[in-house]
Amino acid sequence: MAEILEGIEIPINIRALKTSTIYYVSTDGKNILIDTGMDPGTENFLLQKRVRVEDLDAIFLSHLHIDHLGGAEKMHQDYSIPVYMGYEDLVRVKAIQENPSGFLSELLDFLRMNGVPESYLQEFGENHPVIMELENYKNLDIEDIATIPGGTYGGIKFVNTPGHSPGSTCFYMKNEKFMFTGDHILERITPNISFYDRTTDMLSLYIKSLRETMKFQVDRVFPGHGKPFSGLKERSESIIDHHLGRVQEIRGIAKDLWINAYEIAGRMTWSKGRRMITMNSMEQNFAIGEAIAHIRYMKNSGELDEREVNGTLEYRSS
């Protein structure tokens, strides 16, 4: 019989989210922690729930974002607990560790190519979550979750769900019909879809992953933010509809007009009717990344034409 804490909500320094939810699972003789919050103080929250960190057999990270992996390194160093993550996220973490200045340089070059003004670039770079939390990335010691034989551990099946991140992983318990979704599926927030290189169509991958997870029999969803909920299939369909609505909005913005990604993001309507100009720098980063992901999806489907003018990419509805 599996023991699952319904969720330990940990405060995080991201205004739109406020908390990150981690889970302790005891099943088939294994004690597992799914995600770790944003900073090294995670152990204190576990102790409040009478969870002894030294009894953990493994830590599984749903994806590479700091609000899910920030507490992993200290627990690994203090207690030698193995930490696992999806391969495509793991290689990106290692790239950041090996060349953090190169990561920032590539990020700024790509933002520049997408129309972000020079006057904003330094602030955008400084307020990128990876750069802000670089120390928490530098020493992470993580293993590829695919090295665990059979793709399961303690009755938990690993489900590859690229989209919110390249190596996003969900964790499925077939007997209980539970799925731990990280940021792949959230109940009240539509997960941010961004870019991780110059070519991969993350939105297309995300929609495909949502349709794949809809095939699982799931009675209860344990998300990376908020409380557990039911209705995975219905929520997945509403998320897909949301993104297709964004596509339609961009189609209208770029109709008969050559326009870059930064300008498109500035004209889009965001959560609660907000505009990008009202956001802080971190939120603007998310908005621009989201615009780029949708533009790439539309370009690949033939809905947008692309041209380069003086080093800046511009788009127009076909």
Model confidence over 188-243: pLDDT tens digits?
A: 999 999 999 999 999 999 999 999 999 999 999 999 999 999 999 999 999 999 99
**Beta strands 312-317; 220-223: pairing state:** unpaired
Q: Supply the DSSP symbol for 191.
A: P
Which part of the chain has CATH 3.60.15.10? 3-94+134-240
What token pair was written down for 111?
């933002």
Which part of the chain has CATH 1.10.10? 100-132+249-317
Residue 201 one-letter amino acid: D
**Interatomic CA distance for residues 304 and 288, integer angstroms:** 17
Q: Does 1.10.3710 match the CATH number of domain 100-132+249-317?
A: no
Topology of domain 3-94+134-240 in CATH is Metallo-beta-lactamase; Chain A (3.60.15)
Helix H or strand E encompassing 183: none
Per-residue model confidence as pLDDT tens digits over 86-112? 999 999 999 999 998 899 899 999 999
pLDDT in single tens digits along all 318 residues of the chain: 678 877 899 998 887 788 999 999 999 999 999 999 998 899 999 999 999 999 999 999 999 999 999 999 999 999 999 999 999 999 999 999 999 889 989 999 999 999 999 988 878 777 778 888 888 888 889 999 999 999 999 999 999 999 999 999 999 999 999 999 999 999 999 999 999 999 999 999 999 999 999 999 999 999 999 999 999 999 999 999 999 999 999 999 999 999 999 999 999 999 888 999 999 888 898 999 999 999 999 999 999 999 999 999 999 997
The alpha carbon of 93 is separated from its chain's Cα centroid by a whole number of angstroms, namely 13
- Give the mean pLDDT of the chain: 94
